[in-house]
Structure 1
Amino acid sequence: MPHFYVVTDCEFDGPIPGANSMLSFGSVAVSNTGRILGEFEAVLEPLDGAERDAGTMAFWQTQPEAWTAATSNPEPAGAGVKRFVNWVKSLGGEPIFAAHPVVLDGLWIDFYLRRFTGRPLFEGPWVPDRLFQHPPLCIMSMVAGSTGRGQWQCDVEHYPLEWLGSIEHTHRAIDDARGYANLLKLVALSRQANRDP
């Protein structure tokens, strides 16, 4: 079965999964040929006992539209995570989690998967029913390696808007996931074209 990427962006109210809450997340499934296979979006209720981080909330005060998108009509976090798992499984193939950077968004998804499904983001090949079939992909690192840019130059503020499919980085999770999906398509397909005879 062909592999595909689940490009994911998370929004949260603090830096530490569990101590703080993931507000929302969005994912775009992209085939290995660059075709969009589907999208997923969830707005989650805060975790019991979690608190909001003052520094993060100061940022959100500058982003009122994104804050509204990240907090309106939330569902229980466990229900949202289970919907996500079912959505990924419904696509078939061999899903690969991808984020920009994976060390940020991957930590949140890993924490929520562990908490609400008892399974981590990535499991070894000896686990036959694992959700993601291959190690997570860091799109930021892929851009750095493909373009020769320094890691510090691999952020949305340094990218031409066309690299993101001309999608503005709004801090609404699904918008940002769409932009990163376009970035992955651009980099992955150009690498593939350079590799193929």
Structure 2
Amino acid sequence: MTLVYVVTDTEFDGPTPGRNSLLSVGAVAVTADGREVSAFEAVLAPFPGAEPDPGTLAWFAGEPEAWAAATRDPQPPEAVMARFVAWVRDLPGDPVFAAHPLAVDGPWMDLYLQRFTGTRLVPVPRAVDPLFRDVPLCLHAFAAGRLHWPPERCRVEHYPAEWLGETAHTHCALDDARGYGRLLAHLLRLPPPG
């Protein structure tokens, strides 16, 4: 079965899933050659009992367009995550979750999926019907390996614009997911190490 990479980006109001809230999620389903199959975008209402982090809010104060995109017309997290699950399950091929970096976006998505849909992001012990059957792909680590760069260099500001498909990194979740989807396609096109 053909792999379809679900390249996902999240924006949040603090560093800790559950203590802070996921504000928005953007995802693109792309094939290995970079063809976009489908896209998902949503803004979420606050996580029950969560509080925004003052430092994160101060950062967003300098990024008003990103803040506006991440907070416009929020929907209940239950509805958003149910839509995300349905969207992934309707994709053609075998979906693989991917994020840049996985250690940031993955925990947010796993917590919200578990809390609001009862499913887990990927197979873990005793998980019933995880959304993705395979291990997720960390695009940050994948880039370091494919490019032979130190991990600290694998940041959006160091990638040539053409690797991101000329997609500006705006901190709007769907824009950033699209750029990372194009980065993945670029990395997959590189010749095998030799």
TM-score range, shorter chain: over 0.9
Structure-2 residue corresponding to 1:31: 31
Cα distance, 1:141 vs structure 2: 0.5
Over residues 12-70 of structure 1, what are the superposed CA-to-partner deviations in whole Å (9 max), with x where a residue is unaligned? Answer: 00000000000001000011332211100010000121000011011000000110000
**CA distance in structure 1 between the partners assigned to 2:131 and 2:92 by the alignment:** 10
| Secondary structure of 2:190's aligned partner | helix
Amino acid paired to 1:75: Q
Cα distance, 1:163 vs structure 2: 1.0
Amino acid paired to 1:164: L
Cα distance, 1:125 vs structure 2: 9.7
Structure-2 residue corresponding to 1:103: 103
1:88 matches 2:88: yes
**CA distance in structure 2 between the partners assigned to 1:89 and 1:118 by the alignment:** 15
Amino acid paired to 2:163: W
Is the 1:4–1:31 contact (alpha carbons within 8 Å) kept by the matching residues of 2?
A: yes
After TM superposition, the score normalised by the length of structure 2 is 0.95
Q: CA RMSD in A?
A: 1.7
**CA distance in structure 1 between the partners assigned to 2:152 and 2:12 by the alignment:** 22
Over residues 104-154 of structure 1, what are the superposed CA-to-partner deviations in whole Å (9 max), with x where a residue is unaligned? Answer: 000100110110111211115997843212100000111100011100000
Structure-1 residue corresponding to 2:135: 135
CA gap of 1:11–1:127, structure 2 versus 1, over 3 A, is closer
**CA distance in structure 2 between the partners assigned to 1:45 and 1:128 by the alignment:** 26
Structure 2, unmatched stretches of 5+, are none
Structure-1 residue corresponding to 2:157: 157
**CA distance in structure 1 between the partners assigned to 2:160 and 2:14 by the alignment:** 28
Is the 2:120–2:129 contact (alpha carbons within 8 Å) kept by the matching residues of 1?
A: no
Cα distance, 1:10 vs structure 2: 0.1
Is the 2:13–2:52 contact (alpha carbons within 8 Å) kept by the matching residues of 1?
A: yes
Amino acid paired to 1:165: G
**CA distance in structure 2 between the partners assigned to 1:190 and 1:36 by the alignment:** 19
**CA distance in structure 2 between the partners assigned to 1:39 and 1:102 by the alignment:** 19
Cα distance, 1:161 vs structure 2: 1.1
**CA distance in structure 2 between the partners assigned to 1:125 and 1:114 by the alignment:** 14
**CA distance in structure 1 between the partners assigned to 2:14 and 2:107 by the alignment:** 13
Is the 2:120–2:127 contact (alpha carbons within 8 Å) kept by the matching residues of 1?
A: no
Structure-2 residue corresponding to 1:69: 69
Amino acid paired to 2:96: I
Identity score, percent = 52
Over residues 77-114 of structure 1, what are the superposed CA-to-partner deviations in whole Å (9 max), with x where a residue is unaligned? Answer: 11001100000011132110000000100010011011
